[in-house]
Structure 1
Amino acid sequence: MNIRLVPREEFDKQLYDSCVHYATNGNIYGYHWFLNATTDDWDVLVEDNWSSVMPLPKTKNWLGRTRLEQPRLISDLAVYSVNVLSPKRVQAFWDAIPKEYRSGNLTVEPASAPKVSNRFTVEAATGTALTLNRPYEQIIEDFSPGYHEGLVRAEMARLRPASSFKPERLADLWLQVNGKTAENEWRYHAMQRIMYQVLHRGWGGTQAVQDDKGEILAMVFLAYSHHRIFPLFTVETAEGKSVGALTYLWDNVLKSHAGKELKVRREEILV
Structure 2
Amino acid sequence: MISFVKRKDLEIEKYNDCIINSLQSNVFGFSWYLDIIADDWSVLVLNDYEAVMPLPFRKKAFIKYVYPPFWLIQLGIYSNEVEDENEFLIELFENFKFVELRMNSMNSFSMFSVFQQEKRIQVLSLKQDYEIIYTNYNRNRKRELKKAVIHDLNECWSDCPTVLINLFKENVGKRVKKISEKDYDRLLSLMQVCIRKKVGELLTVYDMDNRIVSGAFFLKHKKRVTELVCSSDFKNRKNGANTFMNDRAIYKYSRNFDVFDFGGSSMKNIANYYKSFGAVDEKYIQLYYNDLPKFIKFFKR
> Shared topology, TM-score over 0.5?
yes
Unmatched 5+ stretches in structure 2: 265-270, 275-301
Q: Could you say if the C-alpha distance between residues 242 and 206 of structure 1 is closer, same or farther in structure 2, counting changes exceeding 3 Å?
A: same
Other structure's SS at 2:217 match = strand
Question: Which residue, 115, 118, 142 being the options, matches 1:121?
Answer: 115
Other structure's SS at 2:106 match = helix
Instruction: Assess if the C-alpha contact under 8 Å between 1:108 and 1:122 holds in 2.
Output: no
Percent identical among aligned pairs is 20
Note the C-alpha offset of 1:181: 5.9
Aligned pair 1:104/2:107, yes or no?
A: no
Aligned pair 1:135/2:134, yes or no?
A: no
Q: Could you say if the C-alpha distance between residues 181 and 104 of structure 1 is closer, same or farther in structure 2, counting changes exceeding 3 Å?
A: closer
Note the C-alpha offset of 1:247: 0.7
Residues 146-167 of structure 1, C-alpha deviation per residue, up to 9 Å, x if partnerless? 2112112111111121241121
Other structure's SS at 1:149 match = helix
Structure 1 window deviating more from structure 2 (24-33 vs 180-189): it is 180-189
CA RMSD of aligned residues (A): 2.3
Query: What is residue 154 of structure 2 aligned with on the other side?
Result: 160
Query: What is residue 23 of structure 2 aligned with on the other side?
Result: 24
Other structure's SS at 1:59 match = strand
Aligned pair 1:193/2:192, yes or no?
A: no
Query: What is residue 267 of structure 2 aligned with on the other side?
Result: none
Aligned pair 1:70/2:76, yes or no?
A: no
Instruction: Assess if the C-alpha contact under 8 Å between 1:104 and 1:121 holds in 2.
Output: no
In 1: Cα distance, 2:149 partner to 2:65 partner: 50
Instruction: Assess if the C-alpha contact under 8 Å between 2:40 and 2:58 holds in 1.
Output: yes
Query: What is residue 58 of structure 1 aligned with on the other side?
Result: 57
Number of aligned positions between the proteins: 265
Q: Could you say if the C-alpha distance between residues 240 and 56 of structure 1 is closer, same or farther in structure 2, counting changes exceeding 3 Å?
A: same
Query: What is residue 208 of structure 2 aligned with on the other side?
Result: 212
Instruction: Assess if the C-alpha contact under 8 Å between 2:225 and 2:257 holds in 1.
Output: no
Residues 60-86 of structure 1, C-alpha deviation per residue, up to 9 Å, x if partnerless? 343x22222222221211201112x24
Unmatched 5+ stretches in structure 1: none
In 2: Cα distance, 1:261 partner to 1:182 partner: 34
Instruction: Assess if the C-alpha contact under 8 Å between 2:85 and 2:107 holds in 1.
Output: yes
Instruction: Assess if the C-alpha contact under 8 Å between 1:91 and 1:116 holds in 2.
Output: yes
Aligned pair 1:248/2:247, yes or no?
A: no
Query: What is residue 233 of structure 2 aligned with on the other side?
Result: 237
Instruction: Name which structure has the greater RCO, CA cutoff 8 Å, separation 6+.
Output: 2
In 1: Cα distance, 2:16 partner to 2:47 partner: 15
Instruction: Assess if the C-alpha contact under 8 Å between 2:225 and 2:253 holds in 1.
Output: no
Instruction: Assess if the C-alpha contact under 8 Å between 2:58 and 2:67 holds in 1.
Output: yes
Instruction: Assess if the C-alpha contact under 8 Å between 2:227 and 2:262 holds in 1.
Output: no
Structure 1 window deviating more from structure 2 (180-189 vs 211-220): it is 180-189
Q: Could you say if the C-alpha distance between residues 267 and 195 of structure 1 is closer, same or farther in structure 2, counting changes exceeding 3 Å?
A: closer
Q: Could you say if the C-alpha distance between residues 244 and 184 of structure 1 is closer, same or farther in structure 2, counting changes exceeding 3 Å?
A: farther
Note the C-alpha offset of 1:96: 2.3
Aligned pair 1:225/2:224, yes or no?
A: no
Query: What is residue 47 of structure 1 aligned with on the other side?
Result: 46
